Amino acid sequence: MRAERPGRFNTRPTLEDIRRAPKVLLHDHLDGGVRPGTVVDLARESGYGDLPTTDPDALRAWFAESADSGSLERYLKPFSHTGGVMQSVEALTRVAYECAEDLANDGIVYAEVRYAPALHLRAGLSLEQVVEAVLDGFARGRREFGIRVGTLLTANRNQARSMEIAKLAVRYRDDGVVGFDIAGTEAGYPPIKHLDAFEYLRRENAHFTIHAGEGFGLPSIWQAIQWCGADRLGHGVRIIDDIEVDGDETRLGRLADYVRDKRIPLEMCPSSNVQTGAATSIAEHPIGLLHDLGFRVTVNTDNRLMSKTTLSEEFAKLIEVFDYDWDDLQWFTVNAMKSAFLPFTERLELINGVIKPGFAQLKWNRAHPSA
C-alpha cells in the first residue's frame, strides 16, 4: 500500500465516482463490444445459426469464458460470432449506435473505436458501405448521447489487404475515420509485412497504431516503431521485457528508453491481457511499473464483451491493486486525450473544457461531501 501523500487529494475513487468522471477510451473493438441481446437479435434476423446459445445471459458468459483462454489465438475465436452477425448496413449501424450509448453511459466523453471492414463483406456489402454504416451509427450516437467517437480502420495482420484498408482510412479521414490499425494473431505475422501500407499512411500524414507486444515480444514492438513508424502501440505490454528491475533500481534498455523518451502512447488493456496470458494478473500487470516510470500509459477496454468489462471497471481494478487516486485517474485520462488522433486544438479543448473542469468538480464534491 502506498503511504499517504500529505497535501494531495487522496480519497480513493469508487466505481460510481469513476463512472461519473469524464473519461477517454482509445482502444476498443466494435466487434468486441456488441451487446449479447443484440447478437441474438441480429442472428435471428439474418438467419445466422451458429451461436452457441440464444439466451443473452448465457451468451454473455460464454463469450467471456471462451476468451479467458490463456492465448491470443484462442481469445480471438469468439469474434467469428459477432463478426458473423454484423453483415448488413442495419446491423453495423445498430451496433455502432449502441456502442456510443454504452460508452456514453460509462462516462466516456471521447472514444476511438476500431473494427476491420474486410470482416463484414460476407453478405455482399462493399468496404465503403461498411464504413459508411458504422459512421452513420456513431453520428446518430453523437447527436443523441453527446459522445464523440472517432473510428480506426483495422487491417488483419494475416491478410494481404492492409494497403486497401489504409487507402480507405485516408479516403474517409474527413468523415470520422481518424486512423488505422493492424490486429489479429501477432506471432508469425510481424508488422513489417505491412510496411507498404504504413509508408503510404505516413506520406499521407495519417495516423496509425499497431497491435504489438501482446502475443509477441520486443521484436514486434521494435518493428512497429522503428520500421513502421507507429504513432501509438496497441497494448505494448511486452516493453517490460526491456526493463530490468533489481530491488529499487530499474534499468531501461534502448527500446524502452526510446518509447518513454518519445512519449509513445501505450494502449494498455489489463483484463484482456490477463485473458490472453500477456500478463499474469492485474496486480502483476506491467502498467503498475510503467506508470511509476512515467511512460505515456493509457487505460483501455479492448473488448468489453469478451473481456467482460467497461472502462470504469478497468480503472476500478487498477485502483484496487495499485491504490491509484484521483490525480492518477486524471493523469491516465489526460494521457489518453493527448494521444488521441484528433487535431491538436480539439484535444486541447476537451482537456481544458471538459476533462479538467469535470475532474475538479468531482474532486471538490468528494472533498466537501455535505456541501
Ligand X SMILES: O=c1[nH]cnc2c1ncn2[C@H]1C[C@H](O)[C@@H](CO)O1
Name the residue among 17, 6, 88 with its Cα closest to residue 369: 17
Residue by residue, DSSP assigns 243-260 as EEEETTEEEE-HHHHHHH
Interface with ligand X (CB under 6 A): 29, 31-32, 72, 76, 79, 83, 114-116, 119, 154, 183-184, 211, 214, 272, 302-303
- Tell whether residue 211 is among the known ligand binding residues: yes
Cα separation, 173 vs 259, whole angstroms: 27
Nearer to ligand X, 59 or 183 (CB): 183
Nearer to ligand X, 38 or 303 (CB): 303
Q: Give SS3 for 233.
A: strand
Grid cell digits, residue 72: 491470443
Where does this chain touch Zn ion (CB under 5 A) — which range of 38-46, 73-81, 198-206, 300-308? 300-308
Applying CB under 5 A, does 302 fall inside the site for Zn ion? yes
Alpha helices by DSSP H, listed for the chain, are: 15-20, 36-46, 56-67, 72-75, 79-85, 89-105, 127-145, 162-171, 195-203, 218-222, 254-261, 270-276, 287-292, 311-322, 326-339, 344-350, 356-367
Indicate if 214 belongs to the active site.
yes
Minimum Å gap between C-beta 149 and ligand X is 15
Centre a 10 Å sphere on the Cβ of residue 175 and count the other Cβ atoms it contains: 11
Minimum Å gap between C-beta 183 and Zn ion is 6
Cα separation, 86 vs 228, whole angstroms: 31
Catalytic residue of the set 214, 267, 313, 314 = 214
Nearer to Zn ion, 132 or 302 (CB): 302
- Tell whether residue 29 is among the known ligand binding residues: yes
- Tell whether residue 27 is among the known ligand binding residues: yes
Minimum Å gap between C-beta 266 and Zn ion is 13
Minimum Å gap between C-beta 221 and ligand X is 14
Nearer to ligand X, 274 or 362 (CB): 274
Cα separation, 177 vs 310, whole angstroms: 23
**Residues designated catalytic:** 214
Binding-site residue positions:
27, 29, 31, 184, 211, 302
- In the complex, the residues that contact Zn ion under the rule CB under 5 A are 302
Binding-site residue positions for Zn(2+):
27, 29, 211, 302
